[in-house]
């Protein structure tokens, strides 16, 4: 029987408290939103990764607000059950909290239930500004794709003591500002375990090992249809499945059963 009860923030926090893993996949259109919905995915992320996945761009940096609003509205029309998060694209929240609110409002009006911003201590005042005005916020630390040039490429973060301490400060700052979820990307598993124990909010990992409240992958990566290099932490769930919906359901089952990810593969 199809599950139709809408997942909300209270649901996700309850899952985290109960130790149930949260499943997340990127999604960019109504058709895939419906497939992922029927396969039981908890959270759909309209990621600015669409610039790379759909547009063939080398980074996420050229994605603008109009593009994010359009794809968010498409996904919202296709999804009935999952919680919907939309990325704030590069340049849409960096100038001021007021700028961030104006742009976040556009995504919420398009159908998002939460917005995601990248960055640590510096973005905490903006997160607080949004949360105080009724906007749920997911933070994103570790490797942050919008800072790819500053970080020197797609590199694992938290590889020395100073970097680990900065990651911890970043995570504590965004959680303290009111972020209700946190995406943690490209971080060694022992660092993830330490960080997750420091903050009370669900940590959603991507290339960050198994010590997370949930996992996220780029949809096209886990279906094995990405053109070009695929991150080492990705598994092709379409292999052996008879349909895309079955592949996604297998991903959901593997995450829920703690069979994916493992702690042996990191990086790109």
What's the pLDDT score for residue 3? 55
CATH number, domain at 199? 3.20.20.60
Q: Is residue 38 part of a domain?
A: yes
What's the pLDDT score for residue 227? 82
Residue 145, Cα to own-chain centre: how many angstroms? 12
Q: Is 217 helix (H, G, I), strand (E, B) or coil?
A: strand
Residue 153 φ/ψ region, left for φ over 0, alpha for ψ in the -120 to 50 degree band, beta for the rest: left
Phi, psi of 138 (to 5 degrees): -105, 130
Query: Which residues, listed in sequence order, are joined to residue 142 by a DSSP beta bridge?
Result: 185
What's the pLDDT score for residue 2? 54
Catalytic-labelled residue, pool 132, 185, 193, 246: 185
What's the pLDDT score for residue 264? 74
What's the pLDDT score for residue 265? 62
Total domain count for the chain?
Answer: 1
Query: Which residues, listed in sequence order, are joined to residue 44 by a DSSP beta bridge?
Result: 25, 84
What's the pLDDT score for residue 266? 60
Q: Is residue 128 part of a domain?
A: yes
CA angle 177, 22, 185 (to 5 degrees): 60
Q: Is residue 268 part of a domain?
A: no
Q: Is residue 3 part of a domain?
A: no
Give pLDDT tens digits for 224-235: 999 888 889 999
Domain that holds residue 139: 9-256
Q: Is residue 261 part of a domain?
A: no
Q: Is residue 208 part of a domain?
A: yes
What's the pLDDT score for residue 1? 42
In contact, 82 and 34? CB cutoff 8 Å: no
* Residue numbers of the chain with a pLDDT score lower than 50: 1
Is 185 among the residues known to form the active site? yes
Contacts 24+ apart (CB under 8 A), 188-196: 188/156, 188/158, 188/159, 188/266, 189/263, 189/266, 191/158, 191/164, 191/167, 194/164, 194/168, 195/167, 195/168, 195/171
Q: Is residue 100 part of a domain?
A: yes
Structural element, H or E, at residue 51: helix 50-53
27 vs 23: CA distance, rounded Å: 13
Q: What is the pTM of this model?
A: 0.96
Q: Is 219 helix (H, G, I), strand (E, B) or coil?
A: helix
């Amino acid at each position: 029987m199809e599950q139709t009860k809408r997942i909300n923030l209270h649901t996700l926090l309850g899952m985290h408290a109960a130790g149930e893993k949260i499943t997340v996949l990127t999604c960019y259109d109504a058709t895939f939103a419906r497939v992922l919905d029927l396969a039981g995915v908890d959270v759909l992320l309209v990621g600015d990764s669409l610039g790379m996945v759909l547009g063939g761009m080398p980074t996420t940096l050229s994605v603008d607000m109009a593009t994010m609003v359009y794809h968010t509205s498409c996904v919202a029309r296709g999804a009935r059950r999952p919680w919907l998060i939309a990325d704030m694209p590069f340049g849409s929240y960096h100038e001021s909290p007021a700028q961030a609110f104006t742009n976040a409002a556009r995504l919420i009006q398009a159908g998002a239930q939460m917005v995601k911003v990248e960055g640590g201590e510096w973005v905490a005042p903006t997160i607080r500004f949004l949360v105080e005005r009724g906007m749920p916020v997911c933070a994103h630390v570790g490797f942050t794709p919008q800072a790819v040039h500053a970080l020197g490429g797609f590199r694992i973060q938290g590889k020395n003591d100073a970097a680990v301490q900065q990651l911890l400060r970043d995570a504590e700052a965004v959680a303290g500002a009111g972020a209700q979820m946190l995406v943690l990307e490209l971080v060694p598993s022992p660092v993830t375990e330490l960080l997750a124990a420091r903050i009370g909010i669900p940590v959603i990992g991507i290339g960050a090992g198994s010590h997370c409240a949930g996992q996220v992958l780029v949809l096209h990566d886990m279906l094995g249809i990405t053109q070009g290099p695929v991150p080492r932490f990705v598994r092709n769930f379409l292999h052996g499945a008879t349909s895309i919906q079955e592949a996604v359901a297998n991903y959901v089952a593997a995450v829920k059963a703690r069979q994916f990810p493992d702690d042996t593969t990191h990086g790109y």
